[in-house]
Amino acid sequence: MTEKKLELYYFESCPYCQYVMSILRVTGLEEKVTYFDIREDHKFKEKLLKDTGRTTVPCMYIDGKPMFESRDIGEWLHKYARELQGEEGRN
Ligand SMILES: N[C@@H](CCC(=O)N[C@@H](CS)C(=O)NCC(=O)O)C(=O)O
């Protein structure tokens, strides 16, 4: 698998976002993600709305393609965790 660009739109007190963060922690992928707190900077929320027509978080962009449901994001992370981690070893 080629390197994936992972970007998480979230805010701290959102439980669904915390769920995704917990999966990032257990899969060791925390540092592979760029984080955008939509409550910290309104521009992030505007970008999300402009791109997707929604402001729901969590939203994980995977190579620029948005994925919304925390459960789907969690499943995706578990599925690709090993490959994503493995990339580090090869670099
Ligand atoms: N089904 C979604 C629910 C996410 C959700 O309800 N997020 C809330 C924050 S905790 C939200 O973004 N609400 C604002 C909105 O929908 O515009 C998931 O599991 O990802």
User: Is the pTM of the predicted complex or chain greater than 0.85?
Assistant: yes
Assess if residue 70 is contained within a domain.
yes
Closest Cα to residue 55, out of 45, 65, 63, 64?
Answer: 45
Q: How far is the CA of 88 from the centre of ligand 1 (A)?
A: 32
Give me the residue label for tokens 């729901």: 56
Number of domains in the chain: 1
Assess if residue 50 is contained within a domain.
yes
6 in contact with ligand 1, CB cutoff 6 A: no
What's the whole-number mean pLDDT along residues 19-25?
98
Query: pLDDT at position 2, please?
Result: 59
Assess if residue 60 is contained within a domain.
yes
Assess if residue 46 is contained within a domain.
yes
The 10s digit of each residue's pLDDT in 44-62 is 999 999 999 999 999 999 9
Range of the domain at 31: 12-90
- If residue 36 lies in a helix (H) or strand (E), which one and from where to where? strand 33-37
18 in contact with ligand 1, CB cutoff 6 A: no
The CATH number given to whatever domain includes residue 65 is 3.40.30.10
14 in contact with ligand 1, CB cutoff 6 A: yes
Assess if residue 4 is contained within a domain.
no
Assess if residue 5 is contained within a domain.
no
**What residue's CA is closest to ligand 1, atom 1?**
69
